[in-house]
């Protein structure tokens, strides 16, 4: 530990040492949501907006970015008191500014207003994480049209709106990071998930297109493609998948979800947040337009 501190003190400004020390403390307490690459990642002075960060992967990414010193705009649905408690906890744990915006990701006007408000307060959204997402599992003949519309709106079209509103300020600052929470389902399909797979393949295309448009401005645009992560989104689809396939819920976990992943392990939120942290760093400046699987080997099949 002493050697690590001497290394950090010689190589980083004092503020950075303090933040890394704070993040290290959180890991020791068991927060388990941050990975530090010898101080290479430091987000102090940056503002990160993470859509759908009241739960699951988005929440893990927001906490990881706060631990690295970024100010945070949380977004997502949920109980107002729980969200306020989360906002206050992240702010006090990491000594950063944390705001919450309840914009509905299926409503273009609310998305535009959210990005504008963040820009007015912080100057820009430096790091945009398009994470909000929903799922519905059913054979296509029975797939409710309103579920299709909602999944395309929240999992794909919302990212079009956040990106088009956030990009001008990133371009002015000549620095930006856009990280889209895509999926292994951006690369391969599974039955009964027509809307989700279509939206996630679309998000992959959006990622590559905007990466090309933004590359000359110091802005990177990438997609993280997780396999199965045990979050409320996955827990909720287990009963529907059991019904659609006529098998038990236990069989869904072993024969459907983890069958796809050669590691036979769920991906963890911390693993996804660690990759997001790296992509947000200056070290990742040459990674853009990439679809990065974190899927226990699923898409190697």
Report the interface residues with ligand NAD, using CB under 6 A: 52, 54-58, 75-78, 104-106, 131-134, 154-155, 181, 183, 226, 228-229, 231-234
> Is 37 labeled as catalytic in the residue annotation?
no
Catalytic residue, chosen from 94, 196, 228, 278, is 196
Q: Toward ligand NAD, which CB reaches closer, 19 or 157?
A: 157
Count CB neighbours of 239 within 10 A: 12
Nearest residue to 207 via CA among 268, 266, 279: 279
Q: Toward ligand NAD, which CB reaches closer, 255 or 282?
A: 255
Tokens 């579920």, located at residue? 147
Q: Toward ligand NAD, which CB reaches closer, 132 or 284?
A: 132
Q: Toward ligand NAD, which CB reaches closer, 133 or 296?
A: 133
User: What is the closest distance, in whole angstroms, from the C-beta atom of residue 98 to ligand NAD in the complex?
Assistant: 15
Return the H-helix or E-strand segment holding 75: strand 71-75
Q: Toward ligand NAD, which CB reaches closer, 69 or 133?
A: 133
Q: What angle do CA 50, 225, 65 make, to 5 degrees?
A: 30
Tokens 């989360």, located at residue? 86
Q: Which two tokens stand for residue 37?
A: 């690459």
User: What is the closest distance, in whole angstroms, from the C-beta atom of residue 182 to ligand NAD in the complex?
Assistant: 7
199 neighbors 151 (Cβ within 8 angstroms) = yes
What is the C-alpha separation between 246 and 262, in angstroms, rounded?
24
Burial 19-56 (b: 16+ CB within 10 A, else e): bbebbbebeeeebebbbbeeeebbbeebbbbbbbbbbb
Q: Which two tokens stand for residue 99?
A: 């705001």
Nearest residue to 186 via CA among 57, 56, 299, 279: 299
| Positions marked catalytic | 196
């Amino acid at each position: 530990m002493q050697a690590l501190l001497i290394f950090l003190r010689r190589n980083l400004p004092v503020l950075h040492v303090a933040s890394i020390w704070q993040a290290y403390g959180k890991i020791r307490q068991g927060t388990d949501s941050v990975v530090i690459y010898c101080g290479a990642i430091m987000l102090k002075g940056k503002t990160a907006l993470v859509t759908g960060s009241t739960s699951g992967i988005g929440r893990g990414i927001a906490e990881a970015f706060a631990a690295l010193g970024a100010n945070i705009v949380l977004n997502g649905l949920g109980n107002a008191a729980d969200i306020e408690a989360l906002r206050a906890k992240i702010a006090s744990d990491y000594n950063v500014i944390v705001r919450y915006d309840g914009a509905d990701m299926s409503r273009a006007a609310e998305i535009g207003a959210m990005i504008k408000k963040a820009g007015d307060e912080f100057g820009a959204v430096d790091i945009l994480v398009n994470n909000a997402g929903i799922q519905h599992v059913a054979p296509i003949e029975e797939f409710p049209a309103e579920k299709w519309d909602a999944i395309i709106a929240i999992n794909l079209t919302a990212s079009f709106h956040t990106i088009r509103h956030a990009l001008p300020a990133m371009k002015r600052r000549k620095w930006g990071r856009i990280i889209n929470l895509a999926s292994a389902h951006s690369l391969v399909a599974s039955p009964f998930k027509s809307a989700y797979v279509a939206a996630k393949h679309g998000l992959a295309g959006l990622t590559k297109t905007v990466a090309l448009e933004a590359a000359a401005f110091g802005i990177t645009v990438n997609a993280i493609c997780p396999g199965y992560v045990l979050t409320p989104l996955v827990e909720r689809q287990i009963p529907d998948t059991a019904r659609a396939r006529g098998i038990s819920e236990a069989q869904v976990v072993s024969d459907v979800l983890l069958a796809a992943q050669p590691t036979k392990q769920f991906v963890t939120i911390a693993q996804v947040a660690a990759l997001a942290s790296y992509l947000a760093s200056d070290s990742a400046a040459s990674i853009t337009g990439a679809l990065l699987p974190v899927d226990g080997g699923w898409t190697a099949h």
